[in-house]
Amino acid sequence: MEFKAILKAIVEGSSGGVGGVVMGYDGIAIDEYLRDTGGLDVQILAVEYASVLKEIKRTVGVLKTGELEEVSIVSDRCTVVVRGITADFFVAVVLTPEGNFGKARYLMKREAARLREALQ
């Protein structure tokens, strides 16, 4: 299954999902799926957060606490849920403030293996 189909399943399966992206920690997107984003630029949001995630990933490595699994960023306009899928790539889903955070986390965790496989 291609990335876009997996992202679509995650975004549409998460009540309030507006977009999803598979991206490298270098900020280069592999693929994305967008719904009505309500004025949010999901691509730019993911690129900007990629640099922060890269630093968090580095810190996790320095502290030797294991691999980075998940990071959530909540603001008044959106929630961004990020799940690491390999050492070099992550998937991020953007939700409206009313979105189903738990469902998004579950779907991302469930689809992580398929995303890893698609990267091969």
How far apart (Å, rounded) are the C-alpha atoms in residues 23 and 80?
14
- CB contact at 8 A, 20 and 11: yes
Segment 22-33 mean pLDDT: 92
User: What domains can be seen in the chain, in order of their start residue?
Assistant: 3-119 (3.30.450.30)
Please, what is the average pLDDT of the chain? 91
32 pLDDT tier (thresholds 50, 70, 90): very high
In this prediction the pTM is 0.91
How far apart (Å, rounded) are the C-alpha atoms in residues 37 and 18?
5
Bin 35: left if φ > 0, else alpha if -120 < ψ < 50, else beta: beta
Q: For position 46, what pLDDT does the model report?
A: 83
104 pLDDT tier (thresholds 50, 70, 90): very high
76 pLDDT tier (thresholds 50, 70, 90): very high
